[in-house]
Amino acid sequence: MNGLLVGWRAGLRTFRAMPAVQVALRGLLVLTGVVAFALQPDRGVTLAGVAAWFALLAVPVAAVRPTSDASTVVLGGTGVAWVIGYGGHLPPAAATVLLGAVLYLHHVAASFAAAMPPTAMPDRRLAARWSVPLLAGLTALGAAAVTAYGTHELPLSPVLQIAGLAGVLAAAGLLVLLTRR
């Protein structure tokens, strides 16, 4: 019990030493994780609900220790819950694009937080390096959102949905590749 108390005190000292940017970054991790949970079609006791709750439980761990695998659990658990929750039905287009944007933002924020010590101010070069994939991904997801605007349900087969997702990811990757040269 004494070791747990010492750990909490050390964590509190680290939190107090964090600059506001670091606290905001970790707050963004919590916010994106909670929004991803709220978008889930099933938060009950089914398999999809259990996966969603499992992902939600990993959110505070991802915020406290962004170098851990907790962000992967958030992304994977949310994705599994989304796919199982809709089963053989097609998900709504707007919610799908919004979930994609939220998970992408969570991933980039976790990567950025893991790239620096918790008490350090972000370096300008590091921030510029991470802003490129963030803007490229959000641009590709924004294009997908404009395309899906007004569509209540994707009128595509699951194979075409996966192909469309791969196309959005390829477009984001191409933008990142072109801006790094």
Average pLDDT over all residues of the chain: 78
Long-range contacts, stretch 63-70, CB < 8 angstroms, 24+ apart: 63/26, 63/27, 63/29, 63/30, 63/33, 64/11, 64/26, 66/26, 66/29, 66/110, 66/111, 66/113, 66/114, 67/114
**Per-residue pLDDT at 74:** 92
**Per-residue pLDDT at 153:** 58
**Per-residue pLDDT at 55:** 92
Enumerate the domain spans of the chain: 2-179
**Per-residue pLDDT at 1:** 52
**Per-residue pLDDT at 168:** 64
CB atoms within 10 A of CB 113: 22
**Per-residue pLDDT at 53:** 92
Task: Per residue of the chain (181 residues), give pLDDT as tens.
Answer: 555 555 566 667 777 778 888 888 889 999 999 999 998 888 888 888 899 999 999 999 888 888 888 888 998 899 888 888 887 677 777 788 788 888 888 888 888 888 888 877 877 787 777 777 777 777 777 777 666 665 555 555 666 666 666 666 676 667 666 666 5
**Per-residue pLDDT at 135:** 76
